[in-house]
Amino acid sequence: MIETKARTYTAAKSRTQGRKAWAVTFRHPVCRDDEGRIGVKVRRGLGTSDSEEADAFVAELNALLGDESYWNVAERGRAEQRFHSVVVRAFYEPMDNPAGKDPMAIREEEIRLPDRDEGYSRVMLIGTTGAGKTSLLRQLIGSHPTRDRFPSTSTGKTTIADIEVIVGPGDFEAVVTFFPRRLVRTYVSESVSEACKTAWRDGSDERVMRDLLNHKDQRFRLGYLLGAWSPDEGEPEEDDWGDATEEEEPEDELDAGSLPTAEERAAMQSALDGYQERVRQLAAQADAAIAGVLDEPLKDMKAEDQEAASDLFVDQAEGLPDHAALVDAITEDVLRRFAHLEQGTLTRRGGWPEKWTFRSDDRNDFMRQARWFSSNYHRAYGRLLTPVVQGMRVRGPFVTGFGGEIPRVVLIDGEGLGHTPESAANVSTHYTSRYATVDVVLVVDNATQPMQAAPLSVLRSVGTGGHADKLAVAFTHFDAVKGDNLPDFAAKRDHVLGAVKLALARLRDAIGDVVVGGLERRLDERCFMLGWLDQPAEGIPSGARKQLGELMGFVQSIIEPEPQPQARPMYDPAGLAFAVQSASREFHSLWDARLGYRRRDGVSKEHWARVRALTRRVTYRMDNYEYKHLMPVAELIGRLSEATSRFLDAPARWERTAGDQDEAAAAIARIRAEVYTALHSFAMDRIVEEHFNEWGEAFEHAGRGSSYVRAQRLRDIYGAAAPVPGIEPIVAEVRKLVAFAMGEAGGGLELEEEYGRVEAGSREEG
């Protein structure tokens, strides 16, 4: 407790009526409220129903509030060595994102996203990593592949942030939003831990630095920010595998005068050498700490024992003061990289960059500045800010190379989907939550290997989500579709579409004939065959240019209003209970296999590190509460939406009969879309919000046997979120959700007698 600026800062425990768990409330000595005054009120759950334990947490928080030396986010690592993690999170999380603003809202304040009422169509590009989404985006905005190189492309995972392009008249504008310090620090911490583990396993200098500078999921590359590390402290060796026909890099790439100098590269190399030495020291400390616990050397252990030893080592390393100190040092080094920005306006909040804005009437100047936030150009390593970019929105008179007019369109590009069946089984909520806000869901797929697991999962979610009328597919690499039996364009197109129809046929058992039939009817006229996308527009053959023009024409015409269906389907709620029960059982079957409680074909037990990484992302509210293919919220949405979609296929009766099959399908699709949107907040509440403290407890478990305790914690969370048996509570909630959605979309659910025999929606209006 301390008195500063005429205010006393102290914490107290409390709990909501009817709840057993305790929470803590206090005025924050650093963060400001909505009116700009220091002392915003903070309330955080303590994750315990024990009064004495809650008192201990409050006492620790008061000690933290009483020591001003901790009142800086850079001191979080030091605080973690003294105070419980519950206390540390309660104090520092409001500092990481003081305003609590959604990055989308920040971008909206600077550059508003126009909609169909203003004549703009919104197009979301979604597809597998490497399929060519960003290459297609370049063509649609007239970005030259060598002169502009915006956005950046490569054979690997390049686009990791949302890039929203508004094509329209006026000057060129940009707003970039950044990940908060807490998330950046978390990525740095994971990279340090991985490098320590590599050093512990007798890894070479090259492997240690590879794991430090390249996050294991390839989404956060410290090398872009801190510079490239070379074992010989010199220029990289000549590439013996270089393409002799490859064009030389243009001299003006990212403005050669702004690239790191030789002196700067030497300084970055020296700093990286220092980080490597500290990593090895950390590994040695952690190794010494667990030496007395391990029964034999790591190399002599069985595979399962090595896994347990690695778990113990990482927990020990992350608990060392030097680990937190190194993470803080690297995070501060990342922060210093923003000092290189010479153009535009950088806005900070709490000392950390929140947004960057820029405006210019010069297209070339605009492109040069925008690339600092999206480039992967190797000569600019040490200056690029790409890894810390959360989202980027640009607006300007972009002109395509296949049409003279400036179209009114919003193009949204994002991170690619996974390649493996496991990683592509579900679509992230980052995408599915935007289905309702866009006009076109454009699946970008490789024509040489069409409709593999990832694009098929998108079709599945779009169909069961009631948004089939927004679906289109752009097949890239069509120029590589060749064969003795494919003499012309028509034959090649039929070949690709045949693969699509075969893939959809495999979905019939899962999502039903009605949804699959609707997808088939639309896709035949909404598939576009594209090739040579990596070439300048003038080098693309006329046939491919025509397809690009037809694609752009389609996305602009789709906003033309269509008559709303007047038909009103009515449903018997009895079938809904079976649908929810089926979805819950499927969800548990999947996660029981992942957590090692049962066997399931095609699903293996997850490594402890991935499960722990998932709990970290939920605890720190990052990455949409997902890690790689582990997407519990998306998976519950997927299973419930598919089950309710099949239920919606068969109305009990029609209060207002449909004129034909198309009107009936449109009426049901409207209900599907409303239900799908509502399921997102429902699943988020059930999986995350109602059990947020339990997720934190699961993450905090450390030491021998912690992976088993963590797995049981997750199983308990899922059991409460989607109970089987005892499913009545979730059935009642889904029933209310579906009833409300039907009322919004013009349908009706005849509720059972105990609910008063009323119909959802406004039946009186019928």
Q: Span 740-746, mean pLDDT?
A: 77
The tokens for 123 are 């197009």
Q: What percent of the chain is modeled with pLDDT above 70?
A: 86
Residue type, 245: T
Residues in the chain, overall count: 766
Check residue 749 and give its pLDDT. 66
Please tell me the distance from the alpha carbon of residue 4 to that of residue 1, in angstroms, as a whole number: 10
Q: Span 52-62, mean pLDDT?
A: 93
Residue 677: pLDDT over 80: yes
Check residue 237 and give its pLDDT. 52
Please tell me the distance from the alpha carbon of residue 572 to that of residue 647, in angstroms, as a whole number: 9
Please tell me the distance from the alpha carbon of residue 545 to that of residue 223, in angstroms, as a whole number: 38
Check residue 761 and give its pLDDT. 39
Rounded (5°) CA angle 752-754-757: 50
Structural domain boundaries in the chain: 2-96, 120-169+397-557, 181-236+251-340, 568-765
Please tell me the least confidently modeled range out of 318-327, 360-369, 389-398, 737-746.
737-746
Check residue 422 and give its pLDDT. 55
Residue 49: pLDDT over 90: no
Check residue 754 and give its pLDDT. 36
pLDDT-based confidence at residue 3 (cuts at 50, 70, 90): very low
Residue 411: pLDDT over 50: yes
Give 217-257 pLDDT, tens digit per residue: 777 899 999 999 988 754 555 555 444 444 445 545 556 56
Residue 564: pLDDT over 80: no
Residue type, 116: R
Please tell me the least confidently modeled range out of 151-155, 404-408, 518-522, 573-577.
151-155
- Contacts of residue 4, defined as CB under 8 A and 6 or more positions apart, other chains included, come to 29, 68
Residue 745: pLDDT over 80: no
Residue 387: pLDDT over 80: yes
Residue 476, SS3 per DSSP: strand
pLDDT-based confidence at residue 395 (cuts at 50, 70, 90): very high
pTM: predicted TM-score of the whole model, two decimal places: 0.82
Going by their DSSP bridges, the two strands 653-656 and 527-529 should be labelled as unpaired
User: What DSSP state is assigned to residue 511?
Assistant: H
Going by their DSSP bridges, the two strands 172-178 and 389-396 should be labelled as antiparallel
Residue 32: pLDDT over 50: yes
For residue 725, cis peptide bond before it (omega within 30 degrees of 0): yes
Please tell me the least confidently modeled range out of 98-107, 172-181, 372-381, 683-692.
98-107
Check residue 766 and give its pLDDT. 34
Please tell me the distance from the alpha carbon of residue 320 to that of residue 174, in angstroms, as a whole number: 42
Check residue 300 and give its pLDDT. 58
Q: Which of 569, 628, 592 is nearest to 717 (CA)?
A: 592
Q: Where are the alpha helices (DSSP H) in 344-385?
A: 363-370
Please tell me the least confidently modeled range out of 152-166, 483-497, 726-740.
152-166
pLDDT-based confidence at residue 764 (cuts at 50, 70, 90): very low
Residue 614, SS3 per DSSP: helix
The tokens for 344 are 């535009």
Please tell me the distance from the alpha carbon of residue 219 to that of residue 250, in angstroms, as a whole number: 27
pLDDT-based confidence at residue 755 (cuts at 50, 70, 90): very low
Residue 561: pLDDT over 50: yes
Cα 120 to Cα 23, 165, 472, 558, 726: the distances in Å are 46, 12, 17, 10, 48
Query: Could you name the CATH architecture of 120-169+397-557?
Result: 3-Layer(aba) Sandwich (3.40)
The tokens for 316 are 């020990």
Please tell me the distance from the alpha carbon of residue 462 to that of residue 459, in angstroms, as a whole number: 5
Residue with tokens 């006329």: 542
Give 266-308 pLDDT, tens digit per residue: 999 999 999 999 999 999 998 888 876 666 665 556 666 667 7
Check residue 396 and give its pLDDT. 94
Element of type H or E holding 489: helix 489-505
Residue type, 604: S
Element of type H or E holding 544: helix 542-557
Check residue 665 and give its pLDDT. 84
The tokens for 706 are 């912690």
